[in-house]
Amino acid sequence: MKKTPLLNSDISEVLSKMGHNDTIAIGDCGLPIPDETRRIDLALVKGIPSFIDTLKAVLLEQQVDEIIIAKETKEVSPKVFDDIKSEVGEVKITFVSHEELKNELKKCKAVIRTGEQTPYANVILKSGVVF
107 Rama class: left (phi>0) / alpha (psi -120 to 50) / beta: alpha
Alpha carbon distance 93, 96 (integer Å): 10
Q: Is 8 annotated as a binding residue?
A: no
> Choosing from 7, 9, 17, 20, which is the catalytic residue?
20
Alpha carbon distance 59, 73 (integer Å): 20
Q: Is 122 annotated as a binding residue?
A: yes
Contact indicator for 96, 68 with CB cutoff of 8 Å: yes
50 carries an active-site annotation: no
Q: Is 41 annotated as a binding residue?
A: no
Q: Is 120 annotated as a binding residue?
A: yes
Alpha carbon distance 96, 101 (integer Å): 6
Q: Is 28 annotated as a binding residue?
A: yes
Which segments are annotated as binding site for substrate?
28, 98, 120-122
Binding-site residues? 28, 98, 120-122
What residues are labeled active site? 20
